[in-house]
Chains A and B, each alone.
Chain A
Amino acid sequence: MLSKVVAKLNRKIQLINPDVNLSLKEDCALLTGSSHNWDEIIMIGRMVAKTKKFYGVINDIKLKDFVEPKMRVPSIRDDIYEGMKVDVLVIGGGIVGAAIAREMTKYNLEIALVEKEDDLALHASSRNDGCIHVGIDLNSKTKKLEYLRRSVLVYEKLAQDLDVEYDKVGQIIAFKSNWERLIYLLLKLKIKKNGIQETKFLNREELFKREPNLNKIAKFGVLFGTGACICPYNMTIALAESAVMNGAKVLLSTAVLSMEVKNKEIISVKTNRGRIFPKVVINAAGVFSDIVAEMAEDRFFSIHPRRGTNAILDKKAKDKLMFQSTTIYGGLKKAAKRYTKGGGVIPTVEGNTLVGPTAIETPYREDFATNREEINQIFSKHKNNAPHLHQKDIITYFSGIRAATYEEDFIIQKGKWTKNIVHAAGIQSPGLTAAPAIAEDVAKYTCDILGNVTKNEQFNPIRKGIIRVNKLSYEERNKLILKKPDYGQIVCRCEEISKGEIIDALHRPIVVPTIDAIKKRTRAGMGRCQGGFCQPLVIEIIAKEMKTNRENINKKGDGKILLHPTKGENHE
Chain B
Amino acid sequence: MNKYDVVVIGGGPAGLAASKSAHKNGAKTLLIEREGELGGILKQCIHDGFGLERFKEKLSGPEYIYNETEELPLELEISLLTYVTNITKTEKGFELILVNRQGINKIETKKIILATGCRERTAKQVSIHGTSPAGVLTAGTAQYYINILGEMPTKTCVILGSGDIGLIMARRITLEGGKVIGVYEAKSTPSGLTRNIVQCLEDYQIPLHLSHTVTKVFGTNRLEAVEISKVDENMQPIKGTEKVVDCDALILSVGLIPENEIAESIGVRINPKTKGPFCDQTLMTSLYGVYCCGNALHVNDLVDYVSESGEIAGENAAKKAEKEERKLIEVKTNQKIMYTVPSLIDLTCITKKTIFYFRSTENYEKQKLVIYGNKEIIFSKKYHVVKPPEMERVEIDLSSVKNLQEIKVILEDE
Binding site for B on A (CB under 8 A): 72, 316, 368-372, 375, 394-398, 470, 474-475, 477-478, 481-482, 485-486, 488-490, 493, 496, 515, 528-533, 535-536, 540, 550-551, 554-569
12 A-B residue pairings within 8 Å (CB atoms): A369-B130, A395-B124, A470-B85, A474-B104, A475-B104, A532-B122, A533-B141, A535-B137, A550-B151, A559-B134, A563-B152, A566-B151
Within the assembled complex, what's the spacing in Å between the Cα atoms of A555 and B131? Answer: 13
Do the beta carbons of B150 and A569 come within 8 Å of each other? yes
B-side contacts of A474, CB under 8 Å: 97, 104, 106
Q: Which residues of B contact A536 (CB under 8 A)?
A: 141, 144-145, 148-149
Known: A369-B216, A562-B151. A481 touches B99 (CB 8 A): yes
Nearest residue in A to B127 (C-beta to C-beta)? A372
Contact between chains at B124 and A477 (CB < 8 Å): no
Query: Do A490 and B152 contact each other (CB < 8 Å), given the known contacts A555-B133, A556-B134?
Result: no
Contact status A550-B81, CB under 8 Å:
no
Query: B134 near A561 (CB under 8 angstroms)?
Result: yes
- A369→B83 contact, CB < 8 A: no
A369 touches B129 (CB 8 A): yes
Instruction: Check if B153 sits within 8 Å of A563, measured CB to CB.
Output: yes
Q: Are B221 and A481 in contact (CB under 8 A)?
A: no
| A532 and B119 within 8 A (CB) | yes
Q: Of A316, A398, A488, which contacts B132 at CB under 8 A?
A: A398
8 Å CB interface, B57-91 against A: 81, 83, 85
- Chain B, interface residues (CB within 8 Å), range: 35 or more
Q: Determine if B101 and A485 form an interchain contact, defined as CB atoms under 8 angstroms apart.
A: yes
User: Within the complex, what minimum Cβ distance (angstroms) separates B216 from chain A?
Assistant: 7
Which residues of chain A are within 8 angstroms of B145 by Cβ–Cβ distance?
Answer: 536, 562
Report the nearest B residue to A74, measured CB to CB: B221
Q: Is B120 in the interface zone, CB < 8 Å from A?
A: yes
A-B contact count (CB 8 A): 140
Find out whether the CB atom of A316 lies under 8 angstroms from the CB atom of B261: yes
Whether the Cβ atoms of A477 and B34 lie closer than 8 Å is no
A532 and B154 within 8 A (CB): no
In this assembly, does B49 line the interface, its C-beta being within 8 Å of a C-beta of chain A? no
Chain B, 233-286, CB within 8 A of any chain A CB:
248, 261, 264
Q: Is B100 interfacial (CB-CB < 8 Å)?
A: yes
Q: Which residues of B contact A (CB under 8 A)?
A: 34, 81, 83, 85, 97, 99-104, 106, 119-120, 122-125, 127, 129-135, 137-138, 140-141, 144-146, 148-155, 176-177, 215-216, 219-222, 248, 261, 264
Q: Is the CB of B134 within 8 A of A560?
A: yes
**Given contact pairs A493-B83, A535-B141, A530 touches B124 in the complex (Cβ within 8 A):** yes
How far does the alpha carbon of A554 sit from the alpha carbon of B134 in the complex, in Å? Answer: 8
Contact yes or no, B101 A394, CB < 8 A = no
- Tell me, in angstroms, the Cα distance from A375 to B128 when the chains sit together: 11
Q: Are the CB atoms of A554 and B221 closer together than 8 Å?
A: yes
What A residues does B97 contact at CB under 8 A? 474
A566 and B146 form a contact (CB under 8 A): yes
Task: Quote the shortest CB–CB distance from A496 to chain B (angstroms).
Answer: 7
Contact A529 B104 (CB under 8 A): no
Among residues of A, the one whose C-beta sits closest to the C-beta of B98 is A488
- B412 nearest CB across to chain A (Å): 32
Is A477 in contact with B104, judged by CB distance below 8 angstroms? Answer: yes
Assess the A569–B151 pair: CB atoms within 8 A: yes
Bound-state Cα–Cα, A481 to B83, Å: 13
- B134 and A397 contact, CB distance less than 8 A: no
Q: Taking A496-B83, A551-B151 as contacts, is the C-beta distance between A557 and B220 under 8 angstroms?
A: yes
Q: Which residue of B lies closest to A567 (CB)?
A: B176
Q: Would A370 and B129 count as touching, CB distance under 8 A?
A: yes
- Checking B131, B140, B153 against A561 with a beta-carbon cut-off of 8 angstroms, the contacting residue is B153
Expressed in whole angstroms, the Cα–Cα distance for A531 and B106 within the complex equals: 28
For B101, the chain A residues whose CB sits under 8 A away are 481, 485-486, 488-489
Measured CA separation A493–B125 after assembly (Å): 18
Contact among A371, A477, A529 for B99, CB-based, below 8 A? A477
Min CB distance A158 to B, Å, is 30
- Residues from chain A with a CB closer than 8 A to the CB of B34 are 490, 493
Q: List 11 additional A-B contacts (Cβ < 8 Å) besides A489-B101, A569-B151.
A: A72-B220, A375-B127, A394-B125, A481-B103, A515-B134, A529-B119, A555-B221, A559-B135, A559-B221, A560-B222, A561-B135
What A residues does B127 contact at CB under 8 A?
372, 375
Chain B residues whose C-beta falls within 8 Å of the C-beta of A535 in the assembled complex: 137, 141
B104, B125, B149, B216: the one contacting A395 at CB < 8 Å is: B125
Shortest CB-to-CB span from A182 to chain B, Å, is: 42
Contacts of B149 on A, CB cut-off 8 Å? 536, 540, 550, 562
Bound-state Cα–Cα, A368 to B120, Å: 25
Cα–Cα, bound, A493→B129 (Å): 26
Do A529 and B120 touch (CB < 8 A)?
Answer: yes
B137: chain A residues within 8 A (beta carbon): 532, 535
Determine the residue in chain B with the shortest Cβ distance to A476.
B104
A112 to B154, CA, bound (A): 39
